[in-house]
Amino acid sequence: MNLQQELNKTSGFKNLALLASQVVEGYISGMHKSPFHGFSAEFAEHKIYNPGESTRHIDWKLYAKTDKLYTKRFDEETNLRCHLIVDNSPSMHYPLIKDFSLTSLNKIAYSSLACAAIMNVLKKQRDAVGLSIYSDSYEYYAPEKGSDRHHNMLLDILGKTCVQQPSGSGTDTYKYLHEIAEKIKRRSLIFLFTDMFQGDTHENELFEALRHLKYNKHDVVLFHTFDSTTELNFDFPNTPSRFVDVETGDHINLYADNIKEDYKKAIQEYFSRLRVRCGQNRIKYMPVDIKKSFDVVLTTFLLERQLFK
């Protein structure tokens, strides 16, 4: 799928800036607050002058008023460092689609297109972007860079990820999040795209890994992708059907209506628990229904981030 071509069909979010809600740390001049202080256009505070310090930034006008020496401190502006993490397990390739387009996306295609859109916004801001892709192995890693060549390389990787058949047979998200946390040395904005389908025994391990990222001062956003028609509402024909786990191969034969209400109750409780646990760990939780308009979901997130940073 040509991600850039599909993005050109979108509207609404192109001119919105992706603003970091935490202090960020980077190399180049940008639009985000730095934890470091130096000389720039934006004044931060006065500091009492200590003998032996440089006299370069002494505020002589304030000295004339107070007869005391103070130096000016300024906030540096820096770039945002962003790392995109994409779950490429077999369940993310649901539902199976032959011809992808902006109005016909499965979970992996939706996630890849969202990554590409975020990358375009960051490119305009001269911010650095990195990418990790995993399934039952750590399939791809690229550190954060801001060059056009790097941007095009990541677009190509994401486009290929959509159309290639997944080679994995399971998902150990928590394992690779720990690895990624060790790789990313500087404070960054982390986007995780996953459908959160995993064994019950791994839920605690997953949030331990997310806390690892938070402990390292990263700003973490979880994009929880799902198909509301079948995965949330279990809307299947009430005929004898075989339901197959695409990751383990396990299957069960049943009539959909026989378990529909129990399934919906269980999945809604699971979604609510995810939202609460993300809130407890100060992780931004974004439910992403792939049946909804791509423009609406991403614009909502970017507007919220811009207005409530």
Report the C-alpha gap between 219 and 305 in whole angstroms.
12
Instruction: Write the DSSP string, 255-286.
Output: -HHHHHHHHHHHHHHHHHHHHHHHHHTT-EEE
Report the C-alpha gap between 54 and 67 in whole angstroms.
18
The tokens of 153 are what? 């390389």
Q: What are phi and psi of 284, to 5 degrees?
A: -70, 120
Q: What are phi and psi of 58, to 5 degrees?
A: -65, 135
pLDDT for 13-70, tens place per residue? 555 455 444 434 444 445 455 554 444 445 556 778 888 888 877 888 888 988 888 8
Place 298 in a pLDDT band, splitting at 50, 70 and 90: confident
The per-residue pLDDT of the chain, averaged, comes to 81
**Listing from the earlier edge strand, what are the strands of the sheet with 189-194?**
138-145, 128-134, 81-87, 189-194, 219-226, 284-289
Q: Are the C-beta atoms of 99 and 134 separated by less than 8 Å?
A: no
Report in angstroms the alpha-carbon separations of 293 from 94, 137, 300: 17, 31, 11
pLDDT for 268-286, tens place per residue? 999 999 999 999 999 999 9
Give yes or no for residue 201 having a pLDDT over 90: no
Q: Mean per-residue pLDDT for 252-259?
A: 92
Q: What is the pLDDT of residue 267?
A: 93
* Cis peptide bond N-terminal to 95, omega within 30: yes
Place 172 in a pLDDT band, splitting at 50, 70 and 90: confident
Give yes or no for residue 244 having a pLDDT over 80: yes
pLDDT for 180-195, tens place per residue? 999 988 888 999 999 9
